[in-house]
Chains A and B, each alone.
Chain A
């Protein structure tokens, strides 16, 4: 029997709320199927299952908030007989240290007969009332509805709010109690939650990781000329942007210098797949880092299509678990009008981040002459525990090699 656990969707995640089961006991699961929706600080995430089997039993009810690593469901692998299973007694303590980046799957031996879990009763609540409850992080299971069919309506929320405020004045922390109560439905995380998540990850990075920095100015004339030529044959929708070229070139350079495509967890651990995390700024403030999986094996058009798909979804908080948890290296690109250079902060437990500044014309010396060329200042911030400047330098040199020979990508 496979125990399917609450995955870690980033180093900063400690727990998640299971919002909705997408599969029911008895459903046949195939590789890549979405098993459930989980609400995290980063939004509503679709949790995928990367195996094959039959969903035997759901162990967590919709609306329950559980720590990372809690067994969510038991899955019978293909071929195994249906058997009586028992859910593990308690969820493990949330780990504070580095957490594996992938959904945790492990075989577990069945023991005694199952404990019946009661189906949660669906709470009737008007859309407006639900929105208000989420805004105030209220536990709607504690509210009595007075609307049609006992539904909770706006007036009930207002009444409850009026009760909470006086309580807050008397007791010390009723607000926190409310926040810890299971949230019944997922809310789009407020920018505050995103801000907190970014703050936690970045603080940890700066506290734990001794960064070293390298910088190299790269000539973009060949790359831009190649893009211009390539785009002539493409429709507006399919047009390639320089960022696709950057992603592809970084993926190839990582293939050449694999020590940077790694995580630092009790030593350097190289990753087999090259999944490029790409920093997307949210309009409401904060950032998301969705991954372009296996970027080294994708064509340039596929990378571009992937970006076109993933950026709007990131902004709408609709990413899949694999996209959020599996990046092995990160790119940040400041874009037009931002800065000439950007020095990244490593996303733990990765060991490097490359930053692309604005592409702009500069005077450069070329074969003893001064000319004007489009250039981009590329920076690398890397973990000095994992690698040294020599490796970083090799990586930038490799990256430059690919940008000077875009056709090879």
Chain B
């Protein structure tokens, strides 16, 4: 095992992709000379040159469209949109072109583009730079949506995404960049079709993704000291949802708490909750519960920012309440 930061894991995945396939190139705002807004691509320009590490103008719609065009022309572009907050400007390209072209061309045109974007809160960047908008993307057929909640996936998801013939959106979490974690030395591509049970338990299923995964693991650890046996399911793939995994977990534990940073209304948790109700109703011993982002514009002050999304203690408290009414 090696200890590595989330940022390093992301970077080594980009580097390996560039080494393995000459059709792969990285494009995005400040990814070259500046080394990336979050220093994920630092040093790559020097190693691979300006043709493969491409700085682009501040026009999300323009450069995302260029990436989609390159993918249509046979390249394997990695488009970095600095954060999900700016991706709204590129939504027309992503939803109206990348997601639909296979269908509109009668199956003739695949769009093998990978779009990475920073996501979430935790760095005191205030409302306009702190959104958790995974649910927008998970709503749209025609794209795959991945959420990088662990170091293992930071290292592996990009490699697998580049193998997909269809557009893949990858959400990376800026608050986790400096977080250290252990991965096997030979860590590499991972399955990007399945959710994953990160911890087995029998009393309750904590279903989450992204920044929720390590929080849920920590909460489960604390609850275990009090004899509560919590299962943690990392959704990983937000579209298409791997319902088989979380339904099996609920069938085992009969209780579910879904945790996410995104706002509660019309979210990933609403969808997961619905599917549990539709397909595992008779396995439920308690109503499905949710812990989600508070429905406010994300505040700037640290203590308010912390209060606006579920924290480890919130998860612990809620599980205690559920299991010991």
C-alpha spacing A45/B224, complex, angstroms: 47
B254 touches A128 (CB 8 A): yes
B282 touches A148 (CB 8 A): no
Residue-by-residue, is B259-299 near A (CB-CB < 8 Å gives 1, otherwise 0)? 00000000000000000000001111111000000000000
* Cβ-based interface call for B107 (8 A): no
B282 touches A147 (CB 8 A): no
Considering the complex, give the chain A residue whose CB is closest to the CB of B280: A127
If A128-B254, A154-B254 touch, whether A148 touches B325 (CB-CB below 8 Å) is: yes
C-alpha spacing A130/B287, complex, angstroms: 14
Considering the complex, give the chain B residue whose CB is closest to the CB of A157: B285
B287 touches A148 (CB 8 A): yes
Q: Would you give the shortest CB distance from A235 to chain B, in whole angstroms?
A: 24
Considering the complex, give the chain A residue whose CB is closest to the CB of B250: A128
Considering the complex, give the chain B residue whose CB is closest to the CB of A128: B285
A153 touches B285 (CB 8 A): yes
C-alpha spacing A131/B254, complex, angstroms: 12
* Cβ-based interface call for A126 (8 A): yes
A126 touches B285 (CB 8 A): yes
B285 touches A154 (CB 8 A): yes
* Cβ-based interface call for A198 (8 A): no
* Cβ-based interface call for A129 (8 A): yes
A153 touches B282 (CB 8 A): no
Chain A binding site: helix, strand, loop or mixed by DSSP? helix
A128 touches B287 (CB 8 A): no
B284 touches A127 (CB 8 A): yes
Residue-by-residue, is A121-164 near B (CB-CB < 8 Å gives 1, otherwise 0)? 00000111111000000000000001110000110000000000
Give every chain A residue within 8 A of B285 (Cβ-Cβ): 126-129, 147, 153-154
C-alpha spacing A119/B287, complex, angstroms: 26
If A148-B287, A154-B254 touch, whether A128 touches B325 (CB-CB below 8 Å) is: no
C-alpha spacing A147/B287, complex, angstroms: 10
C-alpha spacing A129/B325, complex, angstroms: 17
A126 touches B325 (CB 8 A): no
A127, A130, A131, A147: the one contacting B325 at CB < 8 Å is A147
Q: Would you give the shortest CB distance from A136 to chain B, in whole angstroms?
A: 15
C-alpha spacing A148/B254, complex, angstroms: 15
Give every chain A residue within 8 A of B286 (Cβ-Cβ): 126, 147-148, 153
CB contact list, B288-325 vs A, under 8 A: 325
Q: Would you give the shortest CB distance from B288 to chain A, in whole angstroms?
A: 11
C-alpha spacing A36/B58, complex, angstroms: 66
- Total A-B residue pairs with C-beta atoms closer than 8 Å? 27
Considering the complex, give the chain A residue whose CB is closest to the CB of B281: A127
C-alpha spacing A131/B281, complex, angstroms: 10
Considering the complex, give the chain B residue whose CB is closest to the CB of A131: B282
Q: Would you give the shortest CB distance from A143 to chain B, in whole angstroms?
A: 14
C-alpha spacing A131/B280, complex, angstroms: 12
Give every chain B residue within 8 A of A128 (Cβ-Cβ): 254, 282-285
Give every chain B residue within 8 A of A126 (Cβ-Cβ): 284-286
CB contact list, B164-191 vs A, under 8 A: none
Considering the complex, give the chain A residue whose CB is closest to the CB of B283: A128
C-alpha spacing A153/B287, complex, angstroms: 11
Considering the complex, give the chain B residue whose CB is closest to the CB of A146: B325
Give every chain A residue within 8 A of B281 (Cβ-Cβ): 127
Q: Would you give the shortest CB distance from B3 to chain A, in whole angstroms?
A: 42
Give every chain B residue within 8 A of A153 (Cβ-Cβ): 285-286
CB contact list, B230-259 vs A, under 8 A: 254
Residue-by-residue, is A97-137 near B (CB-CB < 8 Å gives 1, otherwise 0)? 00000000000000000000000000000111111000000
Give every chain A residue within 8 A of B325 (Cβ-Cβ): 146-148
Give every chain A residue within 8 A of B282 (Cβ-Cβ): 127-128, 130-131
Considering the complex, give the chain A residue whose CB is closest to the CB of B287: A148
CB contact list, A160-174 vs B, under 8 A: none
Q: Would you give the shortest CB distance from A329 to chain B, in whole angstroms?
A: 39
C-alpha spacing A16/B301, complex, angstroms: 65
C-alpha spacing A131/B283, complex, angstroms: 8
C-alpha spacing A146/B286, complex, angstroms: 11
Considering the complex, give the chain B residue whose CB is closest to the CB of A152: B285
C-alpha spacing A259/B284, complex, angstroms: 54
Q: Would you give the shortest CB distance from B80 to chain A, in whole angstroms?
A: 45
Q: Would you give the shortest CB distance from B201 to chain A, in whole angstroms?
A: 16
Q: Would you give the shortest CB distance from A309 to chain B, in whole angstroms?
A: 24
Considering the complex, give the chain B residue whose CB is closest to the CB of A134: B282
Q: Would you give the shortest CB distance from A386 to chain B, in whole angstroms?
A: 46
Q: Could you say which of B282, B285, B286, B325 has the most chain A C-beta atoms within 10 Å of its C-beta?
A: B285
Q: Would you give the shortest CB distance from A153 to chain B, in whole angstroms?
A: 5
C-alpha spacing A129/B287, complex, angstroms: 12
Considering the complex, give the chain B residue whose CB is closest to the CB of A125: B285
Residue-by-residue, is A269-293 near B (CB-CB < 8 Å gives 1, otherwise 0)? 0000000000000000000000000
Q: Would you give the shortest CB distance from B26 to chain A, in whole angstroms?
A: 49
C-alpha spacing A130/B281, complex, angstroms: 11
C-alpha spacing A154/B254, complex, angstroms: 9
C-alpha spacing A181/B284, complex, angstroms: 25
C-alpha spacing A315/B219, complex, angstroms: 45
Give every chain B residue within 8 A of A130 (Cβ-Cβ): 282
Q: Would you give the shortest CB distance from B204 to chain A, in whole angstroms?
A: 12
Q: Would you give the shortest CB distance from A214 to chain B, in whole angstroms?
A: 49
C-alpha spacing A127/B251, complex, angstroms: 12
Q: Would you give the shortest CB distance from B148 to chain A, in whole angstroms?
A: 34
Residue-by-residue, is B190-222 near A (CB-CB < 8 Å gives 1, otherwise 0)? 000000000000000000000000000000000
Q: Would you give the shortest CB distance from B283 to chain A, in whole angstroms?
A: 6
C-alpha spacing A67/B93, complex, angstroms: 67
Q: Would you give the shortest CB distance from B281 to chain A, in whole angstroms?
A: 5
Q: Would you give the shortest CB distance from B152 to chain A, in whole angstroms?
A: 33
Q: Would you give the shortest CB distance from A150 to chain B, in whole angstroms?
A: 10
Give every chain B residue within 8 A of A154 (Cβ-Cβ): 254, 285
Q: Would you give the shortest CB distance from B136 to chain A, in whole angstroms?
A: 32
Closest 10 CB pairs of A and B: A128-B285, A154-B285, A126-B285, A127-B282, A131-B282, A127-B284, A127-B281, A153-B285, A128-B254, A128-B284
By a beta-carbon cutoff of 8 Å, the part of chain B in contact with chain A is 254, 281-287, 325
Known contacts A130-B282, A147-B285, A154-B285, then 6 further A-B pairs from the complex at CB < 8 Å, ordered by chain A residue:
A128-B282, A128-B284, A131-B282, A148-B287, A153-B286, A154-B254
By a beta-carbon cutoff of 8 Å, the part of chain A in contact with chain B is 126-131, 146-148, 153-154
A-B contact pairs, 12 of them (CB 8 A): A127-B281, A128-B254, A128-B283, A128-B285, A130-B282, A146-B325, A147-B285, A148-B286, A148-B287, A148-B325, A153-B286, A154-B254
